[in-house]
A = this chain, B = another copy of it.
Amino acid sequence: MIRTGRRPGHQNTREAILAAARSAFAKRGFDRASIRQIAAKAEVDPALVHHYFGSKDKLFVASMIPFDPDTALPQLYAEGRENAGERAVRLFLRVWDSPAGNTAAALMRSGMTHDLSARLVKEFLTRQILHRAAKLLDLDPDEAPLRTSLAASQMMGLAMARYIIPLEPLASADPEILVAMIAPTIQRYLTGPLEPLLPTT
């Protein structure tokens, strides 16, 4: 399907595919949604969907996690380690509090099996977020996996408490209150003292 008069940039195409995917997964569920339908809805070639997202699994995860790690993470950590926790929590809340985030949370609550979602979330989280964040923040490679998985545990718990369960008053708390409370946690996990904890070899 060719649309003349529009030359969408990377960001627009990606967003159009994600919006179509969210709608398709929400309407049909994971199994019955197809890349072909999603491409048609987004008015792009199915090959482009594969180019951007690789597979239906990966497209599903990307549509659940409503920001583009390719562009967001380098911005997030451009200023280095200082206040990395604060910037991470603020970005997290901004994307998840947005309409796309609401749709994503609704999708996560919907009736797909835990096994599939757990496996997909794990892959996405590890490869797309944690490995990259560790590199961008120049964390010690020996410590980075524990540090980033601790940070991920607080972020996943925040998502559970604010969007999935949801647990009040955290669910409707002002984002800046949550940033003030949770940013020091993330910062400590990423850059705080750790050495005495690790077994000396």
Q: Chain A: residues with CB nearer than 8 A to chain B?
A: 108-111, 113-115, 118, 121-122, 125-126, 145-146, 149-150, 152-158, 160-162, 164-170, 173, 177, 180-182, 184-185, 188-189, 194, 197-198
* CB < 8 Å neighbour of A156 from B150, B157, B198: B157
* CB < 8 Å neighbour of A168 from B110, B149, B154, B188: B149
CB distance from A122 to the nearest CB of B (A): 5
CB distance from A196 to the nearest CB of B (A): 8
Given A110-B114, A118-B109, A158 and B161 contact (CB-CB distance below 8 Å): no
Residues of B within 8 A of A177 (CB): 146, 197-198
Tell me if A189 and B197 are in contact (CB < 8 A): no
Tell me if B161 and A149 are in contact (CB < 8 A): yes
Given A182-B150, A188-B184, A197-B181, A160 and B156 contact (CB-CB distance below 8 Å): yes
Given A157-B154, A158-B153, A181-B150, A114 and B118 contact (CB-CB distance below 8 Å): no
* CB < 8 Å neighbour of A153 from B145, B160, B184: B160
* Chain A contact residues, majority secondary structure: helix
Tell me if A153 and B150 are in contact (CB < 8 A): no
Tell me if A114 and B109 are in contact (CB < 8 A): yes
Cα distance A198–B126 when bound, in Å?
Answer: 35
Residues of B within 8 A of A146 (CB): 169-170, 173, 177, 181
Given A115-B109, A118-B109, A182-B150, A145 and B168 contact (CB-CB distance below 8 Å): yes
Tell me if B114 and A164 are in contact (CB < 8 A): yes
Tell me if B157 and A122 are in contact (CB < 8 A): no
Residues of B within 8 A of A121 (CB): 165
Residues of B within 8 A of A198 (CB): 177
